[in-house]
Structure 1
Amino acid sequence: MQIKVATWNINSVRLRIDQVIQFLTEQQPDVLGLQEIKCVEEQFPYQPFRDIGYEFIEVKGQKGYHGAATVSKLPMERLPTSFCPLDHARHVSTRVIAGDQDFEFHNFYVPAGGDIADPVVNDKFAHKLEFLENMRCYFEERFATGDAQQILVGDFNIAPHEHDVWGHKQLLKVVSHTPMEVEILNTLLKTHDFTDTSRLFAGDEEKLYSWWSYRAKDIMKSNRGRRLDHIWVSPALKPAVEAMGKAGHEIHVPCRTWHAKPSDHVPMTQVLDLTAK
């Protein structure tokens, strides 16, 4: 049984609903995690998703900014979780039922962290670090109970690899690629042996980006991107990713210039063969 999961920081789901529907229609993922939806639950555009077969929808909204939503063709149930120390709408966790199997789908919008990489003088950066620590503690508990069928997706706001940014040396002091953030994210990754699916088959020298600033005049020509978006799987699901090979993973770069007003992020997809062990 193959399933396809996706993640996309859409930067306002109501403003870009046509782009999301186009993407879902073309790519047909079974589950999509959206971040930065910028609306409360009552304002979320449920009907367009249901019209194309995404009947199961879980939303954590906030007026004006933040927010996450997971839409699915497969049945899912909400999991009670709390990661954000400021109680922002930054995650949706669900259990997805895929035939006779199920897995947890954790959809994250990690805080950006402001401009100064110092938690003492920058409250936003301190908030980011605390959010990541809460993630670490949560998954430590989940793995302690033996519940290891996990998929983590979202805008983590950290580009951990040297070639996840356009200029490694230039960005070492820029929030999202600082050694402190990278170390914390890699600790979360390695402690529970998660697999970063973008890097599983990509060579060390391969540049991978999922975000480009709105400030760039010619985005693809300058190509000053960062890979802030991620899909991770727990050890129990690594064979499901490996079975699909490099073709099972895609960062949908063309979506960055699809429309006149795109998100600054592009969607990412991963196919898993749940029969692989």
Structure 2
Amino acid sequence: MSTSKQSGNNWKVGSVGKALAILNSFDIGHSEQSLAQISAKIGVPKSTTYNLVKTLLGEGFLRKSEVSQNYLLGLKPFEMGYCVRNSLPIISYAIPIMEDITRLTGEITYLSTVNRDRLIILEGIYPDRRFAAYSTAGKTLPLHCCSAGKMILSTFPDSLALAITEGSMVQSTPNTICTQDGLLAELEKIRANGYSVDNEEETLGVRCASVAVRGGGCRAVGAISISGSVRSVTDEKIMRTLPHLEKAAQFLSRMASAFPAVYFDGAY
């Protein structure tokens, strides 16, 4: 059994890490990959990669396309996702509140949390049933370009916010904040206002507003948000909705320990 040789990481099991690297190599832009692609991406010889892939196939974590003979994520992660969701009681507590906000605003309401250097959406409530088929629960986003992510970053010291976003401030739209100075100015504005706005920074045509759900020490464990079109989510609507978002956030903050927030290594 091989272990990592890196200083301070001697507890890591190398073979497990490689298997997890294979699973992590799949994302929205790479949902189907060949053995050669997987091998190159994780930096492991094809022979070793093949043995790991065969093991993951046998356990249901991967599946093989009969048409292309490439590999895709299997149904086991899908099954585990259901188990994860059902292990998060905060979602059940939040849904009635989120439904009220959606009825009030006519906009999508999101509940999200932080997973190291990413925002992860826990649940979304949609005003139109047609959109329910496009649930974004489980979707992750960079923290710097969405209102909930910026809201969470604003509860951290500037030095930590910069460490979390270092090297990851990609430009999603022409409005995305991509510089450290720009991010620090935005976080200062959010702290002063008590809420965060995404002005087409993650997706063109979409505007969002968020407030923080705070845990111990005022650090955010998550955020609650409304999201809609730039025509619909006006400044006036945001100001009308803020008291409802703040009330919801205060209620959810009482159950902060139920949020599955995972902080960046430097957060402690």
TM-score range, shorter chain: 0.3 to 0.5
- Higher helix content, 1 or 2: 2
TM-score normalised by length of structure 1:
0.35
- Higher strand content, 1 or 2: 1
Of the two structures, which has the highest relative contact order with CA contacts closer than 8 Å and spacing of 6 or more? 1
